[in-house]
Amino acid sequence: MKKQTKKIPLRLFNTMGRRKQIFKSLKPGLVKMYSCGPTVYDYAHLGHFRAYVFVDVLRRALKFNGFRIKQVMNITDVGHLTSDADTGEDKVEKAAREKKMSAWEIAKFYTKDFFDAMHKLNVQRADKICKATDHIKDMIKFIKKIEKNGYTYKTSDGIYFDTSKLSDYGKLAGLDKKKIEGLKPGARIRFSAEKRNVTDFALWKFSPKRMKRQMEWRSPWGVGFPGWHIECSVMSTKYLGETFDIHTGGVDHIPIHHPNEIAQAKAATGKEPVRFWLHNEFLLVDGGKMSKSKQNFYNMADIEAKGTDPFALRYLFLTAHYRSKINFTWESLEAAERALDTLRERVLEWKKSKKKMKNNKKKIETYETKFLKAINDDLNTPTALSVAWKVVREKQISDKNKLKLLLKFDEVLGLRLKDVKPAKKKELSDEVKELIKKREEFRKIGKYQEADEIRKRLSEEFGVLIEDTIKGTRWKFKKIKKKK
């Protein structure tokens, strides 16, 4: 398929300005992109998976349009406090205390968990992954610059950024001077008495007097640790330059974290750091917000314990636009898995197919264009998927060409269709077959408790999951992975 970038330009929704804009990179052919990474103090959850599948689709879409990419992602292993108001405990140190591990072990363990999950979701690795704790010296240097330019002040617990010194602080969040004045202390964040403005934030925090921190460093201002926002400004400018093309993150970063990144960069360099700000919407669980602190999140082990293929999750995310909310339910995941299975079956059939047909070049080109149009319209993956399904149902294209088209689309979708192999169906033992039969008999005569006991036994002893559908009882083997 020819690249059609000239005919259909890539348009992306820029949170700065709240509109779709034609994307052009600063340096022709090369995109410099920074993605806010995870805070590594607990298992990565479904919300993270959604955020980074979005980043991955963006990365693939840029490549599809012929760009080379330099992508940087940080790992937050220090400084992210339990409250956005620069109060509360460091999330990593808190986890260390609770789990009786060192803060360094906690960060290492959950960083690995995060990348294991990313691998299972076929998320391509950023070109540069950088840890906050490896950049403390750079952060101190950066804060010194901000200080020299007159944007800081000292309180009893740290060095703060004076947001009133920037005329357009909060522009990304749609905040202007009047709105900021209207922000009541406590409305947005808990107000510390020593802060000059509600929107001010910590650049460097002093270690608490009462408690010994595991992660702390000497600095010109005293022993302590960096504020959460500074790491992203420092690592993005270090590896991508003072102004770069794209910055990604979840919508929760629009009101505080990203305006603070902009403020820091502008105070240090005088330049607008980012040209395109892209934000993914949230994934909700059963209609509610999910967060690590609320403990209502599911992670990869939960997905695998149900015997669900992680690619089904990826497919589920693709069915929604990245700027709309997704409400996760197990039913929606099962539906996604069924759709993906069907797609894979078609791919297998086409691979084997010997059917010959005249090439309908025009039809093929129409589908290519429709797909690119969808992707280049701010990564409209639901429409892109529907184009793929139209190809599946198309009668005027040969199987060979259908396969070609789908594999080309998959460069963006990332469902790894080219590697699909016929599933090896594991056989059930006679004992299990007998138990399933017995359970059905119990159900027929209304003995649901007995039936449930068998279901539990099948799951726990034999790793077989039972599902009752309108078409009858279905089973599958579960993949068990124990949580630590």
Encoding tokens for residue 35?
């993605």
Residue 50 lies near ligand AMP (rule: CB under 6 A)? yes
CB closer to ligand AMP out of 239 and 282: 282
Residues 266-325 that bind ligand AMP (CB under 6 A): 280, 282-283, 290
Indicate whether 250 belongs to the interface with ligand AMP (CB under 6 A): yes
Alpha-carbon dihedral sign for residues 175, 181, 184, 189: positive
Closer residue to ligand AMP, CB minimum distance, 282 or 475: 282
User: Which of 48, 205, 346, 402 is close enough to bind ligand AMP by CB under 6 A?
Assistant: 48
Binding status of residue 252 toward ligand AMP by CB under 6 A: yes
- Residue 133: HSE in the Cβ half-sphere, 13 Å Cα cutoff: 15
48 binds, among ligand AMP, Zn ion, none (CB under 5 to 8 A by kind): ligand AMP
**Nearest CB to ligand AMP, comparing residues 255 and 414:** 255
* Contact region with ligand AMP (CB under 6 A), list: 43-51, 123-131, 395-403, 408-416: 43-51
Q: Binding partner of residue 38 among ligand AMP, Zn ion, none, CB under 5 to 8 Å per kind?
A: ligand AMP
414 near ligand AMP, judged by CB under 6 A: no
Q: 138 or 252, CB closer to ligand AMP? A: 252
Rounded to the nearest 10°, the torsion over CA 60, 65, 69, 75 is -30
Residue 139 binds which entry of Zn ion, ligand AMP, none, with Cβ cut-offs from 5 to 8 Å by kind? none
The dihedrals phi and psi of 189, each to the nearest 5 degrees, come to -140, 160
- Name the binder of 232 from Zn ion, ligand AMP, none, CB < 5-8 A by kind: Zn ion
Distance in Å, CB of 243 to ligand AMP, minimum: 21
What minimum distance in Å lies between the beta carbon of 277 and ligand AMP?
Answer: 12
Q: Within 10 Å of residue 252's Cβ, how many Cβ atoms?
A: 19
Give φ, ψ of 351 to 5 degrees: -60, -35
- The listed partner (Zn ion, ligand AMP, none) that binds 47, CB under 5 to 8 Å by sort, is ligand AMP
For residue 447, which phi and psi values (nearest 5 degrees)? Answer: -90, 75
Least separation in angstroms between residue 174's CB and Zn ion is 19
Whole-angstrom distance, CA of residue 61 vs CA of residue 240: 20
Of residues 47, 79, 226, 273, which one binds ligand AMP by CB under 6 A?
47
Instruction: Identify the residue whose tokens are 């939960």.
Output: 302
Binder to Zn ion among 232, 265, 267, 340 (CB under 5 A)?
A: 232
Q: Which is nearer to ligand AMP, 109 or 409 (CB)?
A: 109
Q: Identify the residue among 14, 15, 25, 39 touching ligand AMP (CB under 6 A).
A: 39
Q: Which residue in the set 51, 85, 139, 379 belongs to the binding site for ligand AMP (CB under 6 A)?
A: 51
- Whole-angstrom Cα distance, residue 244 to residue 136? 22
Residue 38 makes contact with ligand AMP by CB under 6 A: yes
- If binding means CB under 6 A, how many residues of this protein chain bind ligand AMP? 15
Instruction: Pick the closer one to Zn ion by CB: 55 or 232.
Output: 232
Does 256 interact with Zn ion (rule: CB under 5 A)?
A: no
Q: Stretches 34-42, 102-110, 186-194, 236-244: which one binds ligand AMP (CB under 6 A)?
A: 34-42
Comparing every residue's Cβ against ligand AMP, the nearest one is: 250
Burial annotation 69-101 (CB, 10 A radius, 16+ → b, else e): bbbbbbbbbbbbbeebbbeeebbbbbbbeeeee
74 near ligand AMP (CB under 6 A): no
Q: Tell me whether residue 293 or residue 396 sits nearer to ligand AMP (CB atom).
A: 293
Q: Is 249 in the site for ligand AMP (CB under 6 A)?
A: yes
Chain residues binding ligand AMP by CB under 6 A are 36, 38-39, 47-48, 50-51, 249-250, 252-253, 280, 282-283, 290
- The contact set with Zn ion (CB under 5 A) reads 36, 232
